[in-house]
Amino acid sequence: MLLTNLNRSLLYGVNEQPLDNIAGLPEADFNALSLVDSFLINSTLLSFCLDSEEYPYSIESSPEEQYNPGPNLSGMYLQYGYDVFMAAAPLIIRLHLRHKVLFSPSLIIPILDHPEYWYDYQPYLTKLIRKRGQWLSKANEKWSWWNDSMNSAIWDDKSNHLRYSYFRLLRTYKHADSNALILDSWKEEHPEAKELLLELIKENLSEEDKDLLAKIYLLETGRLKNTIRMLLFWTSNDEEFSSLKSRLAGGQEPHNILHSIAEGSPISPYYNAEQDIPIEWLVFLDTTSTSGQKIALQTIKKVTPTAGKKLQLYNKLLFGTLFCRQYENLLFWIKHIWSEQPKFRLERSWMLYFNQLDDHTKNQIILSLLHKNQNIFCLQFVFQVLEQAFIHLGLHSSTTFLSLLSKIGNSDAASLKLCLNMVKSERIPFILHGSDLKSWEVVCQNLLNQANDKSGDKIMAKTKKLITFREIIDKIFHE
């Protein structure tokens, strides 16, 4: 029965065209093979197609697969369901990358079936799906999106949303080429497309983008021009921009700085005495001081006539403080925003940029937030990050998160209610440090007991099921 189910899962969807004879066997011999055997032969051969020169496969990868965990993981996927599989996705991807093991077809097919769920992970998946993905993408029209998103010709089809997937992958693997591409086409892009492209640029924004931003800044007017100026200010470390950031961080009054900008200086095309305090400057204001906080909040009040614009502005400030490493200011904005807007949602560009950071930096940011701002607002922010970001907590940050969750949950009824929503998370068991899984179970049980939740037994049964799945994944990769 297990073999039958495995064969069925392997062959699901591979039926729209005959499998290629990749092995070069005599046609009569190849045609005599069962569909399963021909599938497995092709899959095995494709595991060695690791050409590092072909875009976007320029990564290090083991030339051999001593052991592939795919079949075992796909069996777990069939047992636990797609939602749990998605919750475990960051862990599964991270472990494949760490051990330099490619995804097997039985893991690739569930991904090709649901592109809408895997968009955020595509830069990582290109490292793991490789030639197998190209092969499978040809086997079923439903899966063709994978090859299309890596085809340079898709860029010229402005009606196809996959052109943005192509641009995103190009940004990830060939940053300079992506900047040249967008500069060449900028004048022909619609305003909505320009906004989306700027959001994609933010995902892996760097100082390398300052020349591109300076050039397209001259081509724009109005709101879009202000967005480009904002990104340019954050990315540029030229002498004039660095001096401006230092003056803001040092407590100088922003209006005085605007009036001091000399005509003809390198920053005069962007700032002058006639304008209001630029929003991007708020990222560098010293919000640990009362005066800095007052200026920041007054500026926001002045430039945000509607609630919707205020939410947009808050997201810009949160992104800027992350990108510019202004973590003390990030703490201030978290407390202010979540106290005012408890249901505030981070926009995807924040998460996608955060995903590009290395594991050590991610954990340091989370740990700093948890240590310095031990309140429900910080916990809500961190939980939202853990629920959406590509992250695995180290032991210290994992333990600190659980301690704060337990502490806040025991503080008052309103906080307990918020913490109970966190207890129901399917994602948390897959991003905690492995040694904290039992502690997670204990914290969940204690909070449910305190709330006298009638669904507590059902929630705990699911929690234990998720922990079991996590332990199975860890075991598979350590065999």
Model confidence pLDDT, tens digit, residues 114-123 = 999 998 899 8
How does pLDDT run across 405-435, given as a tens digit for each residue? 999 999 899 999 999 999 999 999 999 999 9
* pLDDT-based confidence at residue 30 (cuts at 50, 70, 90): confident
* 388 pLDDT more than 80: yes
* pLDDT-based confidence at residue 55 (cuts at 50, 70, 90): very low
* 307 pLDDT more than 90: no
Whose tokens are 């472990």? That residue is 95
* 39 pLDDT more than 70: no
> Out of 19-33, 159-173, 295-309, which region has the weakest mean confidence (pLDDT)?
19-33
* 8 pLDDT more than 80: no
Q: What would the mean pLDDT of 312-339 be, rounded to a whole number? A: 95
Q: What would the mean pLDDT of 295-319 be, rounded to a whole number? A: 89
Q: Which amino acid is at 318?
A: L
Whose tokens are 């879009």? That residue is 224
Q: What is the pLDDT, as a whole number, of residue 415?
A: 92
> Out of 125-129, 203-207, 350-354, 402-406, which region has the weakest mean confidence (pLDDT)?
125-129
Query: Is the pLDDT higher at 342 or at 323?
Result: 323
Distances in whole angstroms, Cα of residue 105 to Cα of each of 44, 114, 318, 381: 10, 15, 39, 36
Question: Which of 82-86, 144-148, 205-209, 260-264 holds the top average pLDDT?
Answer: 205-209
Task: Give the 3-state DSSP-derived string for the chain, with helices as H, strands as E and coil as C.
Answer: CHHHHHHHHHHCCCCCCCCCCCCCCCHHHHHHCCHHHHHHHHHHHHCCCCCCCCCCCCCCCCCCCCCCCHHHHHHHHHHHCHHHHHHCHHHHHHHHHHHCCCCCHHHHHHHHHCHHHHHHHHHHHHHHHHHHHHHHHCCCHHHCHHHHCCCHHHHHCCCCCHHHHHHHHHHHHCHHHHHHHHHHHHHHCCHHHHHHHHHHHHHCCCHHHHHHHHHHHCCCCHHHHHHHHHHHHHHCCCHHHHHHHHHHHCCCCHHHHHHHCCCCCCCCCCCCCCCCCCHHHHHCCCCCCHHHHHHHHHHHHHHCCCHHHHHHHHHHHHHHHHHCCCHHHHHHHHHHHHHHCCCCCCCHHHHHHHHHCCHHHHHHHHHHHHHHCCCHHHHHHHHHHHHHCCCCCCHHHHHHHHHHHHHHHCCCHHHHHHHHHHHCCCCHHHCCCHHHHHHHHHHHHHHHHHHCCCCHHHHHHHHHHHHHHHHHHHHHHHC
Whether the Cβ atoms of residue 234 and residue 323 lie closer than 8 Å to each other: yes
